[in-house]
Amino acid sequence: MTNEQFSEALSEEPKVFTFTLSPRNWFEKLLFNWKIKEQVKTVEVSPITLGARARYSKYALKLDVFETGKGVSATRAGLLMADKHIDDIVKAIAIVIHNKETNPPAWMVREIYKMDQNDMIELISFVVKSVNTDSFLNSIISINGMSLQTEEIIAPEKENQVSTK
């Protein structure tokens, strides 16, 4: 982990992402036009909590890119992933953005489904920064005192019974 990644992980400054809601019906369109209901929702994306990471992992682990894409072109693999896993992808993204113990709001899930590719790429960059898997793995390695590069235990054996052998 670089110094920049380390300081970014410690700063926990939330990033801001803006959703522009699409009206679901004529009545909601009137509410937006008359400014009775806000059409723009701003969400602060902060580093993921442990509970949200656990919920996110349940959906992210279903996305087996290697198995789905085995023996097919990248384009076909993308289409197969979208066909089989679009609900899991949207739910995983919404969980990270919501970053709470409760389910993400329905409007958020609905708006993620409606996003164009440019907005989706921007949102996914927020998600990747929030999840920050590298620092999470480094913390697990530090706690266990293990080295992933060799079959050794960094911490003394009597303090930690975890072994990589």
Summarised one tens digit per residue, pLDDT across range 28-65 is 999 889 988 898 999 888 888 888 888 988 998 888 87
- pLDDT tens string 75-85: 888 888 888 88
User: What is the pTM (predicted TM-score) of this model?
Assistant: 0.70
Task: Give the helix/strand (H/E) hosting 43.
Answer: strand 40-45
Would the CA dihedral through 78, 126, 117, 33 be positive or negative?
positive
CA distances from 145 to 5, 6, 9, 108, 165 (A): 21, 19, 21, 40, 13
Ranges in the chain, pLDDT < 50: none
User: Taking a C-beta distance cutoff of 8 angstroms, is the pair 59, 95 a contact?
Assistant: yes
Q: pLDDT at position 107, please?
A: 92
Give the pLDDT confidence score for residue 69 in this predicted structure: 80
